[in-house]
Amino acid sequence: MNLFEQMHPEWQFALSQCRTDLNAIDTRLKSSETTPPYELIMCAYRQPLSEIKVVIFGQDPYPTPGVAQGLAFSTSEIAHKLPASLRNIYKELESDCGTQPRDSGDLTHWSEQGVFLLNRILTTQPGFSMAHVHVGWQSFTEATAVVLGSQNVIGVFWGNTVKDLQKYFDPELIISSAHPSPLSAYRGFFGSKPFSTANELLIKQGKSLITW
């Protein structure tokens, strides 16, 4: 299946106006190796739009082959070492919610509860970060943000590369801080309490909490 057809039908309907642009991206990517692998690029979009309660925006996939799985910040089970950003996410999670230390980087259990894990750029070249910055993903993920904002989804924005998408969200549903990478985590990510804050907002919306 091509990239558009890999999405849940609800997303196909919501982003129907993006089909031509996505097909153009598809054509460019089929001639090169990507991470995540082709069949996982649209993994986040397999989640029904109607079930999404929280979106967490990332930058671009982990460049190490075999690590990225199509969900922002998440890693495949075969990844034996947690990426530095994810280690910091877990540190904040432990501090914020009192969770136990974790060894697995697979965040599928978040996705299954209605957390949309979306990178601003959905692919990169193996071994190189931001290699696909000019492929055209930004327009597509911006259109995604417009849809999510219109659905009163809670938006979690980590880092400057995704803050331009905040304008599509209700200001009362925005959680924003520095990026969890080692270069910036101590500049406002640690102590930001994004997980408990998201659950507090879900309570106000009358929705079920996320078991982070």
Q: What percent of the chain has pLDDT over 90?
A: 92
The answer to whether residues 175 and 157 touch, using CB atoms and an 8 Å cutoff, is yes
Q: Which pLDDT score, from 0 to 100, does residue 206 have?
A: 98
Cβ-based neighbours of 80, under 8 Å, separated by 6 or more: none
Catalytic residue (one of 21, 60, 103, 164): 60
Q: Which pLDDT score, from 0 to 100, does residue 83 have?
A: 94
92-119 average pLDDT score: 96
146-173 average pLDDT score: 96
| Domain architecture of the chain: domains with CATH | 4-205 (3.40.470.10)
The answer to whether residues 144 and 162 touch, using CB atoms and an 8 Å cutoff, is no
CB atoms within 10 A of CB 160: 11
Radius of gyration of the chain (CA): 16
Question: For the whole model, what pTM was predicted?
Answer: 0.95
DSSP 72: T
The answer to whether residues 29 and 123 touch, using CB atoms and an 8 Å cutoff, is yes
CA distances from 4 to 11, 15, 75, 114 (A): 9, 9, 23, 21
Q: Is the pLDDT of residue 38 over 90?
A: yes
Cβ-based neighbours of 201, under 8 Å, separated by 6 or more: 154, 172, 173, 175
Q: Is the pLDDT of residue 50 over 90?
A: yes
Q: Which residues pair with 57 in a beta bridge?
A: 118, 157
- Per-residue pLDDT of 176-186, as tens digits, reads 999 999 999 99
CA distances from 175 to 92, 112, 156 (A): 14, 21, 5
- Per-residue pLDDT of 56-85, as tens digits, reads 999 999 999 989 999 999 998 776 789 999
Q: Which pLDDT score, from 0 to 100, does residue 81 have?
A: 86
Least confident of 182-186, 193-197, 200-204: 182-186
pLDDT band at 30 (very low <50, low <70, confident <90, very high): confident
Cα(192)–Cα(29) distance, integer angstroms: 37
33-42 average pLDDT score: 96
Residue ranges of E strands in the chain: 54-58, 115-119, 154-158, 174-177
CA distances from 113 to 8, 87, 108, 110, 120 (A): 16, 21, 9, 5, 21
96 is catalytic: no
The answer to whether residues 74 and 106 touch, using CB atoms and an 8 Å cutoff, is yes
Q: Which residue has the tokens 């089929």?
A: 30
Q: Return the higher-pLDDT residue of 161 and 154.
A: 154
Cα(115)–Cα(86) distance, integer angstroms: 16
Mean pLDDT of the chain: 95
Q: Which pLDDT score, from 0 to 100, does residue 168 have?
A: 98
Cα(118)–Cα(92) distance, integer angstroms: 19
113-131 average pLDDT score: 96
